[in-house]
């Protein structure tokens, strides 16, 4: 069974803290993605990576950075968390050939 895992289901942080969200996939997929999921806004792409050490900005990259040092792992970093970054964060992966993206369970981040 294909699997995308995320390091935390729930996370509470304070304004100004540095936050790391980790995602691991075991499908040997080339592509990995980070999305925000907010009510009424759907899924918005923050960053994606199409290969190790390769990354591209998505639609809402401000306030975020990413790291992909190994093929199976893609990290989302909030350099200085703010309250407007309170959201559900979803990680996904896909192969080069297939359009289908496989999603992790999500991390609900609350920034106080």
Q: Site residues (CB under 8 A) for another protein?
A: 4, 30-31, 33, 35, 40-45, 48, 50, 58, 90, 92, 94, 96, 99-101, 103-106
* CB of residue 110 to another protein, shortest distance in Å: 18
From 10, 16, 18, 14, select the one nearest 75 (Cα to Cα).
Answer: 18
Instruction: Give the alpha-carbon dihedral of 48, 40, 64, 85, to 10 degrees.
Output: -150
In the bound state with another protein, the residue whose beta carbon lies nearer, of 50 and 52, is 50
Distance CA 2, CA 13 (A): 30
Please report how close the Cβ of residue 14 comes to another protein at its closest, in angstroms. 27
Distance of closest approach, residue 64 Cβ to another protein, in angstroms: 17
Nearer residue to another protein within complex by CB, 92 or 111 = 92
Between 9 and 14, CB nearer to another protein: 9
Report the nearest approach of another protein to the CB of residue 17 (Å): 26
Query: Could you identify the residue written with the tokens 């369970």?
Result: 105
**106 in Cβ contact with 4 (< 8 Å):** no
Nearer to another protein by C-beta: 56 or 79?
A: 56
Q: Which of 11, 10, 14, 18 has the alpha carbon at shortest distance from 112?
A: 14
């Amino acid at each position: 069974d294909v699997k995308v895992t995320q390091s935390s289901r729930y996370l509470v942080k304070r304004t100004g803290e540095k936050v790391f969200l980790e995602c691991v996939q075991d499908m040997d997929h080339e592509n990995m993605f980070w999305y925000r999921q907010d009510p009424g806004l759907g899924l918005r792409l923050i960053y994606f990576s199409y290969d190790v050490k390769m990354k591209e900005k998505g639609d809402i990259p401000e306030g975020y950075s990413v790291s992909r040092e190994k093929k199976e792992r893609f990290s989302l970093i909030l350099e200085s968390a703010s309250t407007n970054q309170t959201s559900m964060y979803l990680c996904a992966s896909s192969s080069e050939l297939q359009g289908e993206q496989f999603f992790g369970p999500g991390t609900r981040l609350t920034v106080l």
